[in-house]
């Protein structure tokens, strides 16, 4: 009986581990981080905070966040593409409820949401929040590191250098 | 029923005004920062040492904030008439600069959001960090 129970439990755990809904976020070792599956409405921060509302949440021009069932607002700061945010992932779901699998960073300075995976209305499984990377590649072509190949980045660095001060060089 | 509905209108308007209009006029002086790296403490997130990384993150659409000398962090949602807060070229090119701005501060759930009127003063990068600009994260 005990063996049977263990077998069933092991099988159940295997199913849970394979299930997208049971996926835990990747921890980054950040102080105050908390792995979450957060359900909330996608909102335009400028609308929520400043009262300037656009029907499409700014169409990718505005920072976005999630309001959970308790009315708490989480600014979405990070997506799953290196050095990129989550606006491209969330913007198509303006005003709709989504599920985010990711990290909430509870810092004394502010809390932030890191969107690692997203389940949008109609999705049966979570998918990685990599819309920025895909959009960048569609616009600019393949690159090993988008952030080094991006023309806007190149223009700023070319103007003032990697230190942001023209003529300043690394010390020997 | 009608009476209850009429009575609830001022309450609803009042609740709405808390979210939308509880703004305070402020002047903020501080460094334009990459919010993610700064708040999470990932890498050395300030001044010259972090400038390149801060530009990458701002172009990637990570929110830009201003950190003042008292360690308050203000997430910038707009600058003047420009409502662009995702990769705004005007902000991207002055990442890591010490600035002074006037604007409206709205605090919600412990996060300070700033609606900036204009960048009144730009002192450039004054924070020569990591043993006086010796380190550039990710090199090259």
3-class secondary structure per residue, chain A: CHHHHHHHHHHHHHHHHHCHHHCCCCCCCCCCEEEEEEEEEEEEHHHHHHCCCCCCCCCCCCCEEEEECCCCEEEEEECCCCCCCCHHHHHHHECCEEEEEEEEEECCCCEEEEEEEEECCCCCCCEECCHHHHHHHHHHCCCCCHHHHCHHHHHHHHHHCCCCCCCCCCCC
Q: In this structure, is residue A12 part of a structural domain?
A: no
What CA–CA distance (Å, rounded) separates B28 from B69?
Answer: 10
Q: What is the structure's pLDDT at B130?
A: 62
Q: What is the structure's pLDDT at A170?
A: 67
Q: Cβ A170–B133 below 8 Å, yes or no?
A: yes
Domain encompassing residue A101: 33-128
Between B81 and B1, residue with greater pLDDT: B81
Q: Cβ B61–A152 below 8 Å, yes or no?
A: no
Q: Cβ A60–B86 below 8 Å, yes or no?
A: yes
Q: What is the structure's pLDDT at B96?
A: 95
Contact residues on chain A for B108, CB-CB shorter than 8 A: 48-49, 73
Q: Does the pLDDT of residue A167 top 80, yes or no?
A: yes
> Which of A29, A64, A85 would you mutate first to test chain B, the one with the most B CBs within 10 A?
A85
Q: What is the structure's pLDDT at B138?
A: 54
Contact residues on chain B for A130, CB-CB shorter than 8 A: none
* Domains held by chain A: number: 1
Question: Of the ranges A6-20, A95-109, B21-35, which one carries the lowest mean pLDDT score?
Answer: A6-20
Q: Does the pLDDT of residue A149 top 70, yes or no?
A: yes
By C-alpha distance, the chain A residue nearest B54 is A83
Q: How many CB pairs below 8 A link A and B?
A: 169
Q: In this structure, is residue A15 part of a structural domain?
A: no
What is the pLDDT averaged over residues A137-162? Answer: 96
Q: In this structure, is residue A112 part of a structural domain?
A: yes
> Which of A57, A143, A162, A166 would you mutate first to test chain B, the one with the most B CBs within 10 A?
A162
Contact residues on chain B for A83, CB-CB shorter than 8 A: 53, 56-57, 60, 62
Q: In this structure, is residue A158 part of a structural domain?
A: no
Share of chain A above pLDDT 90, in %: 80
What is the model's pTM? 0.84
Q: In this structure, is residue A157 part of a structural domain?
A: no
Q: In this structure, is residue A108 part of a structural domain?
A: yes
Q: In this structure, is residue A98 part of a structural domain?
A: yes
What is the pLDDT averaged over residues B93-117? Answer: 96
What is the pLDDT averaged over residues B36-43? Answer: 91
ipTM: 0.86
**Element containing residue B91 per DSSP (H, E):** helix B89-92
Share of chain B above pLDDT 70, in %: 77
- For chain A, first and last CA: distance in Å? 71
């Amino acid at each position: 009986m005990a063996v049977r129970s263990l077998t069933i439990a092991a099988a159940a755990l295997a199913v849970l581990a394979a299930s997208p809904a049971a996926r835990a976020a990747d921890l980054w070792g950040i102080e105050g981080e908390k792995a979450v599956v957060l359900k909330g409405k996608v909102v335009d921060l400028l609308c929520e905070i400043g009262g300037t509302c656009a029907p499409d949440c700014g169409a990718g021009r505005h920072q976005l966040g999630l309001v959970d069932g308790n009315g708490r607002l989480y600014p979405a700061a990070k997506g799953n593409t290196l050095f990129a945010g989550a606006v491209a992932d969330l913007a198509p779901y303006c005003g709709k409820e989504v599920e985010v699998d990711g990290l909430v960073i509870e810092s004394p300075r502010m809390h932030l949401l890191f969107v690692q995976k997203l389940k949008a209305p109609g999705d049966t499984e979570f998918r990685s929040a990599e819309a920025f990377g895909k959009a960048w590649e569609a616009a600019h072509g393949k690159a090993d590191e988008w952030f080094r190949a991006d023309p806007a980045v190149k223009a700023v660095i070319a103007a003032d250098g990697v230190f942001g001060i023209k003529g300043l060089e690394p010390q020997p | 029923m009608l009476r209850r509905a009429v009575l609830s209108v001022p309450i609803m308007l009042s609740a709405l005004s808390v979210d939308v209009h509880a703004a305070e006029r402020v002047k903020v002086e501080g460094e334009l920062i990459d919010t993610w790296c700064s708040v999470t403490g990932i890498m050395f997130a300030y001044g010259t040492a972090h400038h390149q990384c801060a530009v990458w993150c701002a172009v990637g659409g990570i929110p830009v904030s201003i950190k003042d000398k008292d360690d308050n962090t203000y997430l910038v949602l707009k600058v003047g008439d420009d409502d662009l807060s995702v990769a705004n070229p005007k902000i991207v090119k002055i990442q890591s600069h010490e600035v002074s701005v006037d604007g409206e501060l709205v605090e919600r759930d412990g996060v300070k959001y700033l609606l900036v009127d204009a960048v009144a003063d730009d002192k450039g990068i004054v924070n020569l960090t990591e043993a006086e600009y010796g380190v550039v994260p990710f090199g090259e």
